[in-house]
């Protein structure tokens, strides 16, 4: 059964070199979680990394949003109530 997390249709071949400890981890993960291939394990790891980066970006954006909260009261200046969003 294909893993839905790795269901991208277009595949591109990539050759990588990893330390032996990483290869052993990938193989152990593959066996433990019954993942079809090492490539799928790497894809799962990359998706998790991408998700972590996205969460970090959202967190930073939320923190920056607070910098502009003092402008909220002026955001509709010059507009009638029926013209404000």
For residue 70, the model assigns a pLDDT of 61
pLDDT in tens, 65-77: 766 666 666 655 6
Domain map of the chain by residue range? 18-65
Which residues of the chain fall short of a pLDDT of 70? 1-8, 66-85
pLDDT value, residue 1: 46
Phi/psi for 25 (5° steps) reads -65, -45
For 60, phi then psi, to 5°, come to -65, -40
């Amino acid at each position: 059964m294909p893993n839905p997390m790795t269901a991208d249709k277009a595949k591109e071949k990539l050759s990588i070199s990893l330390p032996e400890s990483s290869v052993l981890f990938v193989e152990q993960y593959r066996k433990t979680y019954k993942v079809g291939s090492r490539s799928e394990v790497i894809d799962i790891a990359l998706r998790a990394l991408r998700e972590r980066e996205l969460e970090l970006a959202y967190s930073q954006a939320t923190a920056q949003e607070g910098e502009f909260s003092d402008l909220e009261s002026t955001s509709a200046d010059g507009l009638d109530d029926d013209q404000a969003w």
